[in-house]
Amino acid sequence: MSKRGITYILMAVAVSMAMSVSLFPVSRAAAEKITLKAISAWPKNEPAVADDYLGFVAHANKVLKQKFPGQIEIKYLGGPEVIPTKDQAEALRAGTVDMYFGTDAYYAGIAPSANASKLTQFTSWEERERGANKIFDEIHRKKLNATYLGRLGSEIMFQLYLNKKVATPEDLKGLRIRVSPMYIDFMNALSAAPVETTPGDVYQALERGVVDGYAWPLVTIRPWGWQEVTKYVVGPTFYKVCHPLLVNVDKWNQIPPDIQKALMDVEMEEEHIIADRDMVKNKKEKELLTKAGLQFIEFSPGDSKKYYDLAYSSGWEGQIKRAPEYSEQLRKLLTK
Are the CB atoms for 145 and 250 separated by under 8 Å? yes
What value does the mean pLDDT take over residues 72-97? Answer: 97
| Local confidence band at 31 (pLDDT 50, 70, 90 cut-offs) | low
Lowest mean pLDDT across 150-159, 187-196, 247-256 = 150-159
Task: Report the C-alpha gap between 58 and 45 in whole angstroms.
Answer: 15
- Whether the CA torsion 85, 86, 91, 92 is positive or negative: it is positive
Supply the mean pLDDT for the chain. Answer: 91
What pTM value is reported for the model?
Answer: 0.85
Residue 192 burial (10 A CB sphere; 0-12, 13-18, 19+) = buried
pLDDT in tens, 174-196: 999 999 888 999 999 999 999 98
Q: Under 8 Å CB-to-CB from 169, ≥6 apart: which residues?
A: 190, 235, 299, 303, 306, 307, 310
- pLDDT for position 278: 93
Task: Report the C-alpha gap between 318 and 24 in whole angstroms.
Answer: 56
pLDDT for 26 beyond 70? no
Are the CB atoms for 107 and 93 separated by under 8 Å? no
- pLDDT for position 32: 87
pLDDT in tens, 196-222: 888 889 999 999 999 999 999 888 899
All structural domains of the chain, each given as residue ranges with its CATH number in brackets, are 28-155+242-279 (3.40.190.170), 157-239+299-329 (3.40.190.170)
